[in-house]
Chains A and B, each alone.
Chain A
């Protein structure tokens, strides 16, 4: 996409101009988006530009203090729109895009499924699922880590959480790649087709669980059928909007974090050897990978006129708040630009901040820990396949391919 340079932005503070498409590219060498945000952060605390439509002026906020404050002030920074190019979305994912009381009510209903205690009870199942995935590649001596491991594993866990057959995981993975990984040459038709298919699948699932309730079922869809807010059952549309968010938030995120972590470990022998020889360091190392490779880049819609770092922002405008930009801010972290796998303390916001803190953060951490433990017990030494060019996609930033090899 090109943007006419003659577009006049309302910019009395003289912020640097950075259009959204300049920080959100389709296919680039791995790490490109993060390096780019680093440069923007050190240039200025706020940039402005156009996101999507030429009349849609947005603001990129780059430093930890301002980003954290924005997430912690939901009365001003609304979740009713969460993508810079789409300030008036036709969709409402639940609970992500809810504000205020309604958001709190949903979080209260969903919270018990995702507390550290609930997640700990799932550990044997999660470990068994990762071991199955590992079994499928361990003897081969090579795999594409993204497709064979990172994408598949959270999909399989999702099947268990939702009470779905294990063999639907591959179909979910294909839909996920079509919807979230961009790089399409067919004008978005595949993305649209996949989105329609996912909505159809979940609509059918909700109807099935409504029509044929089975009290012995403990999966989250069966339980959510009975959710009530203010004395009323939640609607089928709300349940669909909830399922769609679980799909968007629960699958690709763990996959992306795994891929960035293994990319790091495959290319940093000292760090890899250290977690192999000191597995008790794995939870601390995971926090550091979360900090350094924070691929989630949310936005908020400003509800009333404000100033951010001296820059006026008007009601209705979008602010773009990349977590990685906050988490690599040298004003907040010593050696912010290095991976320090025993970093302590580590006050990163990779799971966001404020009331919308990632609901699945504890499950995500557990999935990451189990994968890192099991993999390195079985395959302690691995490296990038010779000549491999590792690429990443924008939108929801993630590594597109990660061919690795090991001796068998």
Chain B
């Protein structure tokens, strides 16, 4: 499973890091620090929850 974050859409809501801190961290301006990343085994549900809570729909999850 892979995470792709569209930084044209990410606006620093921080919801991903709030609901799934094991997967998503924020940069020093408060935007999602991930551009693309593989999801560690066991973190799949957290990764999906972070994506589903993004108000901008900026996070895509691919298999």
Contact = CB atoms under 8 A, between A and B. Distances in A.
B30 A115 contact: yes
Given A108-B29, A116-B30, A353-B11, A345 B52 contact: yes
Contacts of A116: 14, 17-18, 26, 30
Interface in A341-395: 344-349, 351, 353-355, 357, 361-362
A357 B54 CA distance: 12
A72 interface: yes
Task: Please report whether the interface of chain B is mostly helix, strand, loop or mixed according to DSSP.
Answer: loop
Q: Can you list the 9 inter-chain pairs with the closest CB atoms, starting with the nearest?
A: A345-B52, A115-B30, A357-B11, A345-B53, A111-B29, A349-B55, A116-B14, A347-B55, A353-B55
Contacts of B54: 347
A347 B58 CA distance: 11
Contacts, number: 55
Nearest to B56: A353
Interface range for B = 10 to 19
Contacts of A348: 55
Contacts of A200: none
A117 B21 CA distance: 13
Nearest to B9: A72
B2 interface: no
19 contacts: A68-B55, A111-B30, A116-B14, A116-B26, A116-B30, A344-B49, A345-B19, A345-B49, A346-B53, A347-B52, A347-B53, A348-B55, A349-B55, A353-B55, A354-B56, A355-B11, A357-B55, A361-B14, A362-B30
Interface in B5-33: 9, 11-14, 17-19, 26, 28-30
Contacts of A354: 11, 56
B8 to A, nearest CB: 9
Interface residues of A, number: 23
Contacts of B53: 344-347
Given A68-B56, A347-B55, A351-B13, 14 more contacts: A111-B12, A111-B30, A115-B12, A116-B18, A116-B26, A117-B26, A347-B53, A347-B57, A351-B55, A353-B55, A354-B11, A355-B11, A357-B13, A362-B30
